[in-house]
A and B are shown apart, each in its own frame.
Chain A
C-alpha cells in the first residue's frame, strides 16, 4: 500500500516536472529572457525610457516563460487567456488610437501654431519611412511587409503597431519592439548625425522667441487639423481623429477633467498593457528569426534617414529664409515624432554649443508636426496597400 502511494507520488511529481518551465525551456527562451533582462537594465540602471522599456522588458521575460501547451489558457497566443485578451488591443489595433488620445491631451501645439513653417520640417523627416520602404523592397520584403517595417522610421510606437497590425501582422512583434527600442535609443542615434550634418556656425543660430498664441487659435487647431488631414487621408482617421480629439479636450478648457484622464490615467493604463503585451509577443519561436534581424537593421536605417532628412531639410529651407528668420538645423532631428525625446536632444545639443540658446520650444514645433506627419504617412500606406 505504502509502495503504491510512493509510486503514485513519484509518478505525479514526474508529471509535474514535465510541466515546469525548466523541462520545456529551449535555448531561444533563455536568449529572449536575457534580452528582456537587458531591457530592464537599460531602463532601471541607465534610465533609458523606463516607461516603455520596463513593461516591454518584463513582457519579453513573461512571454518566454516556457510551458507545456495543454489548453490551460495561459499563453499570449492561446484563445481566451488573460494575456490573449490584453493582446487584442495590439492585434486589432485599438491601443494605438487610445495612446494618441493621451498624446493629444498632453500636447501643446502652441509652438507649431506660432511658427507653422515648422510643419514642413515634420513632413520632411517622414522621408525616413519611405527611404526604409525602398530599402526593404530591395531586400526582398513584400510591399505590405516593407511598409510595416518602414513605419519604424516615423519613430512612433503606436503608429508602428497600428500599421503593422493591419498590413503585416506576422511581423508586428518584431516591428513594435524595434520601434520602441530605437525610440529609447534616440539619445544615442541622433546627436552624432546632427553634429555630422551641421556646421558650428549653423548650430549657433538663435531663433526668435515664438509669438504668444491665443486660446482661440489653440481651439481651432485640432478642429481644422482634423478636417484638413483626414479629408486628404481618411485612412489615418483612427490615429488623427483621436490625436485631435484629445487635444480639443485639453484646449477647449471646458473638459479639463476628461483631458487629465486621457493624458494621465487612461494613457498610463494603455501604455502598461501595450508594453507588456508587445513584450510578450516576442516569444522565441516567433521572434528569433532572420526577419527580426533584418527588421532591426532596417529600423536603424529608417531612424538615421529620418533624422538626416529633417536636418538637411532645415539647411535647405534656410537658403530661402532672410537672415533674421533662419532656423537652427539642430531642431531638424525633432521632425521624427519621438515626443519629446527628440526635442530634448535639440535643446541639449543647442546648449552644448551656446549656453544661452534654448531650442526646446522651437524643437517642439517639428516634433509635434512629426506626430501628425507619421500618422498621415501611416494612413497613406494603409490607403495604398489595404
Chain B
C-alpha cells in the first residue's frame, strides 16, 4: 500500500515537472519603451510606454493570471502573497490574445487604464527615469522575470537580443528605427538567419554536403563499430558455450567410463546389468520419457493467445432491476 502511494506521489511529481518547466517560466520580458512619442498606438489612438513579453518556448502558453509590476516592494519576502498582489497589475482571464503560441510576443500598454482592456496595466512607466519591471506567476510570489530599464530617450527601447558570439541573451538600447513591438527583436529571427547564412556562405552547397555526409557517415560508423564489436563478443560467447558443453560431455563420459570400469573390475557387477542400464537410458532418451514431473506448464503457444486475458474475464454488471 505504502509502495503504491509512494509510486503515485512520484508520478504526480514527474507529471508536474514539465508543466512547471515549460509553462509560465517560458515568459520573458522582451522589450520595453518608456517614452512613446511616435511609436505604437493603442486601441484608443493613444501612445504610452509599453512592455513586450515573449513566449520563448516552442509550445502554446497562456499568460493570463500572471502579474506585472514596477514596484520593487513586491519582491519583499516578508509580505504575504495577497499583500504583494496588491502592488501588481493583473493580466485578466477571458481574452484569447493572452494565449501565446510558440515564440509569440504580446504587448501591454503601461498607461494606468485597466478599464481599457486586457492589454493595459494599472501603472505607468516613468519617462526619462530608471524603471524596474517584474513579471510574476499567478501565485503572486514566483518571480518569472525582471529587468531594470535604464533612462531611455524618446522612442528608444530597451530590448533583449540574442548575441551569437556569446550564445546568450543580453539587454541593449535600441534606436527608434529598430524598435519592434510585438515582433522578435534583432537577432532573434534565428531561422531566417540560418538560411541566409547558408545562402551567403555556402552558395553551392559544398560545405553542407561535406558536413552532412560526414555526420551521416559518423552516425552509421558508430553503429558499425558497436555491432562489429558486439557481434564479435556474441560469437566469442557462443564459442565458449560450445567449448564448455563439449568439456562437460567429455567429463561425464570420462566419469561414466571410470565408474563402469570400477564396477566391472572391483565391485563384480555383471556386464549384462550395465548393458541393461545403458539400453534403458537410451530408450528413455529416444522416446523422451521422463518420470519426474515439475508441475510447471511448459506449453508455449506459437502465437499470442487470449486464454488468460484479463479483459476477457470482464463482463457487464448484471442489471438489478
Q: Which residues of A contact B (CB under 8 A)?
A: 112-114, 116-117, 119-120, 122-124, 126-127, 129-131, 133-134, 136-138, 142-144, 146, 211, 214, 216-217, 220-221, 224-225, 228-229, 232-233, 256-257, 369, 372-373, 376-377, 380-381, 384-386
Complex: A79 Cα to B176 Cα, angstroms:
39
Q: Are A116 and B194 in contact (CB under 8 A)?
A: no
Q: Are B212 and A380 in contact (CB under 8 A)?
A: yes
- CB neighbours (8 Å) of B204 from chain A are 134, 137-138
B178-221 interface with A by 8 A CB criterion? 191, 194-195, 198-199, 202-206, 208-209, 211-213, 215-221
Given known A257-B304, A384-B198, contact A376–B220 (CB-CB < 8 A)? yes
Given known A116-B228, A143-B198, contact A232–B222 (CB-CB < 8 A)? yes
Q: Are A229 and B235 in contact (CB under 8 A)?
A: no
Given known A228-B226, A386-B191, contact A377–B217 (CB-CB < 8 A)? no
Q: Are A134 and B224 in contact (CB under 8 A)?
A: no
Given known A131-B209, A256-B304, A377-B212, contact A211–B235 (CB-CB < 8 A)? yes
Q: Are B205 and A134 in contact (CB under 8 A)?
A: yes
Q: Are A228 and B222 in contact (CB under 8 A)?
A: yes
- CB neighbours (8 Å) of A221 from chain B are 227
Given known A126-B213, A126-B216, contact A116–B205 (CB-CB < 8 A)? no
Q: Mark B96-120, 1 if CB is under 8 A from A, else 0.
A: 0000000000000000000000000
Complex: A113 Cα to B191 Cα, angstroms:
38
Minimum distance in angstroms from A210 CB to a CB of chain B: 11
Q: Which of B206, B220, B228 has the most CB of A within 10 A?
A: B220
Complex: A376 Cα to B219 Cα, angstroms:
8
Q: Are A137 and B235 in contact (CB under 8 A)?
A: no
Contact of B213 among A122, A127, A144 (CB under 8 A): A127
Contact of A380 among B199, B216, B235 (CB under 8 A): B216
Q: Are B194 and A384 in contact (CB under 8 A)?
A: yes
- CB neighbours (8 Å) of B205 from chain A are 130, 133-134, 136-137, 143, 146
Q: Are A142 and B231 in contact (CB under 8 A)?
A: no
Minimum distance in angstroms from A134 CB to a CB of chain B: 4
- CB neighbours (8 Å) of B199 from chain A are 142-143
Given known A211-B235, A257-B304, contact A224–B226 (CB-CB < 8 A)? yes
Complex: A380 Cα to B228 Cα, angstroms:
25
Given known A113-B231, A217-B230, A380-B212, contact A385–B194 (CB-CB < 8 A)? yes
Q: Are A120 and B230 in contact (CB under 8 A)?
A: no
Q: Are A130 and B208 in contact (CB under 8 A)?
A: yes
Q: Which residues of B contact A (CB under 8 A)?
A: 191, 194-195, 198-199, 202-206, 208-209, 211-213, 215-224, 226-228, 230-231, 234-235, 238, 303-304
Describe A's contact surface by its main secondary structure.
helix
Q: A130-B212, A137-B204, A385-B198 are in contact. List 14 more A-B contacts (CB 8 A).
A: A113-B227, A119-B223, A119-B224, A134-B205, A137-B203, A143-B198, A214-B234, A224-B223, A228-B222, A228-B223, A256-B303, A256-B304, A257-B304, A373-B216
Q: Are B220 and A123 in contact (CB under 8 A)?
A: yes
- CB neighbours (8 Å) of A380 from chain B are 211-212, 215-216
Can you list the 3 inter-chain pairs with the closest CB atoms, starting with the nearest? A130-B209, A134-B205, A116-B227
Q: Which of B199, B203, B204, B213 has the most CB of A within 10 A?
A: B213
Contact of A217 among B215, B221, B231 (CB under 8 A): B231
Q: Are B209 and A133 in contact (CB under 8 A)?
A: yes
Q: Are B219 and A228 in contact (CB under 8 A)?
A: yes
CB pairs A–B below 8 angstroms (28 shown): A113-B227, A114-B231, A116-B224, A116-B227, A116-B231, A119-B223, A119-B224, A122-B220, A123-B213, A126-B216, A130-B212, A134-B204, A134-B205, A142-B195, A143-B208, A217-B230, A221-B227, A224-B223, A228-B223, A229-B219, A232-B222, A256-B304, A372-B220, A372-B223, A380-B211, A381-B212, A385-B195, A386-B191
Minimum distance in angstroms from A269 CB to a CB of chain B: 21
- CB neighbours (8 Å) of B211 from chain A are 380, 384
Nearest B residue (CB) for A114? B231
Q: Are B194 and A377 in contact (CB under 8 A)?
A: no
Q: Are A232 and B215 in contact (CB under 8 A)?
A: yes
Q: Are B194 and A386 in contact (CB under 8 A)?
A: yes
